[in-house]
């Protein structure tokens, strides 16, 4: 048995040792409050402003302000509620999709209770939002469209540039949740027609508790966290200096070679797992798939049991099975791409990281074959 094979990098990642090293001075040495008048906060301020510039540069963020937050959930809630409340006079209609992360969906549902109107766009079998479906959904009173950049379950990368073009042609703001794609998919905020974009540190070997929202200059928003006026007044609260410094370091050390490596072992996984009878890959293949995502369905078995079997062999993965969720509902994403509930239950996501080796993938495939066989032997379904 191998030591530990971590294949749940879409959930969260190990903090890179370089990242931790970069953070350390800001805990015990330059720990000052950025908002202070005295020089003790000045090092902290410089570090945060450098982080802001460095991260912005990665996505051509010249026309945007990067506002640091506590993570993806906060950035997404801030976007939906902030834009909706600030633009009530312009319109009360928001468009999003059926395959968003729960934080978008549940914030949208809350807005519906406050009198806003939300359209949840369907997607096709591979998880793509179709352009004409989007443009048909736009109304005169639509103020915002929030469309996930790359899906966290099945890895589909949406055609954000084209969607953004349509949004802008109709004078609608475009937000994209790039928690999964940031640093993995090239993004140019200007060319890609993105007004607002959510990014997240713990998905890219940065610390938990840090995230961000890019806001195009001129976009009207109300804060979600009111208070002392930090972060240009968009997001109050003591600035998490070490978290931000770690986030920027994590962005900095992500290199093309890591992406190439992830794609290679992802494809090993895809080839090896779909060798199992009555199994298939969910989401697209090739360049429209997230570099680190492999998502499968296996007929006649249930995901939680499969996950736990793998866990007993030291392999960490995740499932869209109902049994794994508090609601006992199968994944809304798998339902949206048209899977039958019984097939959704037998689904599993592997998300690779730069640290995974070929040997780990081979071991995982052997274990997966065994586990599926064991569970199928136990299953009354044929």
Partner 1 sequence: MGLGYTEKVMEHFKSPHNMGEIKNPDGVGKVGNPVCGDVMKIYIKVRRYKGKEVIGDIKFQTYGCVSAIATTSMMTKLAKGKDLDAALKISRNDVANALGGLPPIKMHCSHLATEALEAAIKDYRKTGKKKAK
| Phi and psi torsions of 317, nearest 5° | -140, -170
Our finding on whether 226 is near a second copy (CB under 8 A) is: yes
Considering CB distances under 5 to 8 angstroms, the limit depending on partner class, which of partner 1, a second copy, ligand PLP, none binds residue 317? a second copy
**H/E element, 299:** none
Point out which span in 45-53, 176-184, 313-321, 329-337 binds ligand PLP (CB under 6 A): 176-184
Our finding on whether 326 is near a second copy (CB under 8 A) is: yes
Four-CA torsion 351, 252, 164, 85, nearest 10 degrees: 90
Among 21, 285, 323, 366, binds partner 1 (CB under 8 A): 323
Of 99, 252, 241, 244, residue with least CA distance to 177: 99
Whether 179 is catalytic = no
Rounded alpha-carbon distances, angstroms, from residue 223 to 73, 128, 198, 199: 14, 31, 15, 17
Of 92, 74, 73, residue with least CA distance to 83: 92
- How many amino acids of this chain bind ligand PLP (CB under 6 A)? 15
Q: What is the DSSP string of 219-249?
A: -----SS-SS-TGGGTS-S---HHHHHHHHH
Site of tokens 């640093």: 183
Footprint of a second copy on 228-267 (CB under 8 A): 228-229, 236-243
Our finding on whether 127 is near ligand PLP (CB under 6 A) is: no
128's tokens: 């793509």
Among 307, 339, 361, 368, binds a second copy (CB under 8 A): 307
Residues 6+ apart with CB under 8 A from 235: 67, 68, 69, 78, 213, 223, 224, 225
x/- mask, a second copy, residues 16-45, rule CB under 8 A, reads -x--x---x--xx--xxx-xxxxxx-----
Rounded least distance, CB 165 to a second copy, Å = 29
Binding site for ligand PLP (CB under 6 A): 71-73, 76, 101, 103, 148, 152, 177, 179-180, 200, 202, 237-238
Binding site for a second copy (CB under 8 A): 4, 6, 8, 11-15, 17, 20, 24, 27-28, 31-33, 35-40, 70-74, 76-77, 101-103, 106-107, 109-110, 202, 207-210, 222, 224-229, 236-243, 304, 307-308, 310-311, 315-319, 324, 326
Q: Which residues are catalytic?
A: 323
């Amino acid at each position: 048995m191998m030591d530990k094979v971590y294949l749940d990098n879409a959930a969260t990642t190990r903090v890179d040792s370089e990242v931790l090293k970069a953070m350390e001075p800001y805990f015990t040495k330059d720990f000052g409050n950025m908002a202070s008048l005295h020089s003790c906060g000045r090092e902290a301020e410089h570090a945060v402003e450098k982080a802001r510039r460095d991260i912005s540069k990665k996505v051509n963020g010249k026309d945007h302000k990067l506002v640091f937050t506590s993570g993806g959930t906060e950035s997404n809630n801030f976007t939906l509620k902030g834009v909706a409340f600030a633009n009530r006079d312009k319109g009360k209609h928001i468009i999003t999709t059926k395959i968003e992360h729960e934080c978008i969906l549940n914030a949208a549902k809350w807005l519906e209770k406050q009198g806003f109107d939300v359209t949840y766009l369907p997607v096709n079998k591979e998880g793509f939002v179709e352009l004409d479906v989007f443009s048909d959904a736009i109304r005169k009173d639509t103020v915002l469209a929030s469309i996930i950049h790359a899906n966290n379950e099945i890895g589909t990368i949406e055609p954000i540039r084209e969607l953004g073009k349509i949004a802008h042609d109709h004078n609608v703001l475009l937000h994209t949740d790039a928690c999964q794609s940031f640093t993995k998919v090239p993004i140019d905020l200007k060319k890609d027609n993105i007004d607002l974009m959510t990014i997240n540190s713990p998905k890219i070997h940065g610390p938990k508790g840090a995230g961000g929202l890019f806001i195009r200059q001129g976009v009207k928003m109300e804060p979600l966290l009111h208070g002392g006026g930090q972060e240009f007044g968009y997001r109050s609260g003591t600035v998490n200096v070490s978290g931000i410094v770690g986030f920027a370091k994590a962005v900095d050390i992500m290199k093309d070679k890591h992406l190439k490596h992830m794609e290679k072992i992802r494809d090993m996984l895809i080839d090896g797992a779909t060798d199992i009878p009555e199994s298939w890959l969910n989401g697209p293949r090739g360049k429209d798939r997230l570099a680190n995502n492999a998502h499968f369905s296996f007929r006649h078995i249930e995901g939680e049991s499969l996950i736990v079997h793998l866990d007993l062999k030291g392999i960490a993965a995740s499932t869209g099975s109902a049994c794994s969720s508090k609601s006992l509902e199968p994944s809304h994403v798998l339902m949206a791409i048209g899977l039958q509930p019984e097939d959704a239950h037998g689904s599993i996501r592997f998300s690779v990281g730069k640290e995974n080796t070929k040997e780990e993938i081979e071991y995982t495939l052997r274990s997966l074959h065994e586990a599926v066989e064991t569970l199928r032997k136990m299953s009354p379904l044929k």
